[in-house]
A and B are shown apart, each in its own frame.
Chain A
Amino acid sequence: DTAVSQTPKYLVTQMGNDKSIKCEQNLGHDTMYWYKQDSKKFLKIMFSYNNKELIINETVPNRFSPKSPDKAHLNLHINSLELGDSAVYFCASSQEPTSYEQYFGPGTRLTVT
């Protein structure tokens, strides 16, 4: 009965590699998000999609490319990984883009060595 799921849960990779994180929600929500949580636990939005359309791109380097094949899925591809990309990435969803209540996935801990 998982509401928002992400894979993988852990990702360890070397600098310069390309990796993807997948996210799926079964809540029937229209809006999905990617957040980055750094080592100080600061949670910052990266992207949001509403009905497969990009509505927020928060000055994220273009090495990060989200893709939403349908409104239940939002994937994140990262090219040329850097040490500073190490963080926990959370996917989330909500019924509307203006919703104050968001449902978060379990997170993907990315470690770049």
Chain B
Amino acid sequence: GQSLEQPSEVTAVEGAIVQINCTYQTSGFYGLSWYQQHDGGAPTFLSYNALDGLEETGRFSSFLSRSDSYGYLLLQELQMKDSASYFCAVNTGFQKLVFGTGTRLLVSP
């Protein structure tokens, strides 16, 4: 089977840094994507890691360790608008993405 595990919920305050972890077990692996989804909205692409290491995109960074089947999304200088659900997704190479269970991030003032 295929599974991607994430914490169900993370809370933090404005201005803080938060890390959302993703561990995966899939039949194929080409890379790890991250998507953001606000309540009532559509998932939107944030970042992608095909190789080990850190990818930085503004306040957001994403990390991958293929040997550990593990990745994380790091959000810095948190803002209220970052309150949303975050999904990791594996590119399995079988022409589809498999999405994780999702992490709900709550940012408080």
**Can you offer 7 A-B residue contacts whose CB atoms are under 8 A?**
A43-B87, A45-B96, A100-B48, A102-B97, A103-B45, A104-B44, A107-B42
**Residues 27-71 of chain A, each 1 if its beta carbon lies under 8 Å from chain B, else 0:** 000000100000001111100101000011010000000000000
Which residues of the other chain, B, contact A33 by a CB distance below 8 angstroms? 96
CB of A92, distance to nearest CB on chain B (Å): 8
Contact partner, A56, options B37, B41, B43, B96, Cβ 8 Å: B96
Which residues of B are in contact with A by a Cβ distance under 8 Å? 30-31, 33, 37, 41-45, 48, 50, 85, 87, 89, 91, 93, 95-99, 101-102
CB of B64, distance to nearest CB on chain A (Å): 12
Instruction: List the A residue with the shortest CB-CB distance to B46.
Output: A101
Which residues of the other chain, B, contact A50 by a CB distance below 8 angstroms? 95
Q: Are B102 and A100 in contact (CB under 8 A)?
A: no
Instruction: List the B residue with the shortest CB-CB distance to A105.
Output: B42
CB of A111, distance to nearest CB on chain B (Å): 14
Instruction: List the B residue with the shortest CB-CB distance to A55.
Output: B95
Contact partner, A42, options B91, B95, B99, Cβ 8 Å: B99
Which residues of the other chain, B, contact A41 by a CB distance below 8 angstroms? 37, 85, 102
Which residues of the other chain, B, contact A101 by a CB distance below 8 angstroms? 33, 45, 48
**Residues 55-89 of chain A, each 1 if its beta carbon lies under 8 Å from chain B, else 0:** 11010000000000000000000000000000000
Identify the interface centre among B45, B97, B99: most chain A CB within 10 Å of its CB. B97
Which residues of the other chain, A, contact B101 by a CB distance below 8 angstroms? 42
CB of B68, distance to nearest CB on chain A (Å): 20
Instruction: List the A residue with the shortest CB-CB distance to B103.
Output: A41
